[in-house]
Structure 1
C-alpha cells in the first residue's frame, strides 16, 4: 500500500477547513480535482474517511483517528524539507574537522570565527590530532575535512588545497644559537633536541632533513604535543623544532625562535577530504574561508 502525500494533505486540508470549497482554494485546486484526491486516498485505505452532505463535511470515526497521525507525518515532512533547504543554503549544519594542533589554535580558529560571523547557525566539531590520526579520521569519514602535514598519496583521500610551513628552532633567551649568523643541520646536531613523536608530520620532516645531511640528532626527549616540547625547552632540557605557524612558539616570553637555514625544513600542509565523497554544503563553503587564511598564515 503506497500512500500519496498529496492525497493525505488534501484530506487534512478538508478537515481543517471544514469545507471542500475552502480547502480547494488553499491548495490551489479545483473542487473536482480535490474530490478525486480524497477518493483515491479512501480507495487506497479501503475505508471512508469523510461524510459529506450538500452543506457539511465531517471526518468519519476512522478519519478522526487518522487525522493526528496524518498531521504529524506532514509536519515531520515539512520540517525535513525546511532543514534540507537550510542545509543546502548553508544556513545551518555541523562542520567536522580533524586538524594538526598547530593549526587548531591559529588559522582554523580564525577561519571559524570569520565563517560564523556570516553563518551563525553553523557549528563545528574539531578533533586536533597528530598527522596519522587526522588521516585515519578523514579516511573513515569520521570528519568532513582534515588539515594534515606532509604529502598525501593515499588514493582514498583527495587534496583540496596545499601550502607549506617552514620549521623554526625554539631556544631559551640568551642561548648561544641565537647569536649565530645562521642555523643549519650541523648546528642543530651539536645540541640536545626535544623532537616530536615519530608519528607526527613535523618529525618526518626533521628526520628526513638530518638523514639528507648525513647527520644524526641528539634526542633528549620526544613529545606528542607542541606545548609539551615548549615546556621542556623552558625547563632547559634542550631545543625543539616546530612549525612557524605554531602559536606555542609565542606562549613563553623567555623563549625565542628563528628560521632554520635549510630548504629541507619545510613541511607541506594539505586540506583533505575523503575521495569520491560530496562534502556537506556548510563544509564546502567553509573550505573557501579556511584556505584564504591558511595561505596567509606564517610560513
Structure 2
C-alpha cells in the first residue's frame, strides 16, 4: 500500500485535534473516509500509529516518532506550495532578459511599466548586449530570454519573431535630403555617415546593404551608443542610420527622419530562448507585455 501525502496530513490532523471526528471536520471529509486514510498509512508503514481511547485518539510510540519529523516537513511543504502558488499567480518572480540596446531604449520601458502595473511584485533584470552576446547569455543560462536579430543559431535555441524594423536615416538640421520621402543608398554612400560600432547587428546589416549595392563605406564617426550618434547629427556632423524601433527616432524633432531604400534595409527581431528549457512565469508575463506594446505601435515595422 502506497504512503500518500493525503494519509500523512490525515494523521497529522488527528494528532493536532486529538479526535477522528474533529479531524474529519477540519479536513472536510467523512469520518469513515478519514479512518480509511489512516488505515492505509498504517498498512503502508507496517506499523500502528494511533490508538482510540475514551479520551479520543492517542499516538503509539511509532506514531510519536513519526510526528516528531512529520510536522516540520509538512510546514515546510506548505510554505513551498504557497510560494509556488504565488509564482503561478504571478505574485512574485524574476524575469532575466538580455536585449539589444535599441530595443532596451525603445519598446522595453513601456513593456516593463505594463508588467509592473499588472503584477507589481514581479522583477525584471535587464542586460543590454549585441546580438552575439544575447545568444551566449541565453545559452549559458545567465538570462531566461533574449531579444535579438536572427543568427541561424542551431537547434539549442528557439526563436519566435517579435517584429520587423527598418533602417532609417536621421538627417542633421537643414540637410537637403530632408526634402526626399526616401533616401537612396547611392546618395548616402557620398555622405558623412555616423554609424554604430562594427560588432552591432545594425552595423553589419548596413555594411552588407552597401556592399550589395557596390559601395564600401567608411563612416565619419563610430560609437557604441545611439544617443552619442544622434547628438553628433544634431551638431551637424553627419547622418545617423538607426533602426525604426530605436527610441531616439521620436525624441529629436529637429532631425528629419527618412527611410533608407530602395530596396529597404530591414531586420527581424526575435524572442530567443533555450529550446530545452521552459521560461519562468515572470518571463512569460514580460513577453506578453512586450507583444502588447508592439501591437500598440511600440515597435515600428
Q: Shorter-normalised TM-score: what interval?
A: 0.7 to 0.9
Q: 1:40 to 1:188 in 2, by over 3 A?
A: same
Q: Who is 1:298 aligned against?
A: 300
Which ranges of structure 1 fall in alignment gaps of 5 or more residues? none
The residue that corresponds to 1:148 in the other structure is 148
Q: Distance in 1 between matches of 2:203 and 2:24?
A: 71
How many residue pairs match? The answer is 295
Write the deviation string for residues 200-241 of structure 1: whole angstroms up to 9, x where unpaired.
111111011110111121222222221222233344443221
Match of 2:188 in 1: 188
The 5-angstrom pairing of residues 211-290 of structure 1 reads 211-290=211-290
> Conserved in 1, the CA contact under 8 Å of 2:3 and 2:41?
no
Partner residue in 2 for 1:36: 39
Q: Measure, in 2, the Cα distance between the counterparts of 1:50 and 1:181.
A: 87
Partner secondary structure for residue 219 of structure 1: coil
Q: CA shift at 1:8, angstroms?
A: 3.3
* CA displacement at 1:184 relative to structure 2: 1.8
Counterparts of 2:175 and 2:38, CA distance in 1: 90
TM-score, with structure 1 as normaliser: 0.82
Q: Is the 8 A contact 1:10 1:38 kept in 2?
A: no
* Unmatched 5+ stretches in structure 2: none
Shift of 1:148: 1.0
Assess, with a 3 A threshold, how the Cα gap between structure 1 residues 37 and 180 changes in structure 2: closer, same or farther: closer
Give the superposition deviation at 1:71. Answer: 2.5
Distance across 2 between alignment mates of 1:248 and 1:78: 49
Deviation, structure 1 residue 254:
4.1
Q: Tell me which moved more, 60-69 or 173-182.
A: 60-69
* 1:10-89 equivalent positions in 2, closer than 5 A: 10-27=10-27, 28=29, 29-30=31-32, 32-33=35-36, 35-36=38-39, 39=42, 43=46, 53-58=53-58, 67=67, 69-89=69-89
Q: 1:124 deviation in Å?
A: 2.0
If the length of structure 2 is used for normalisation, what is the TM-score?
A: 0.81
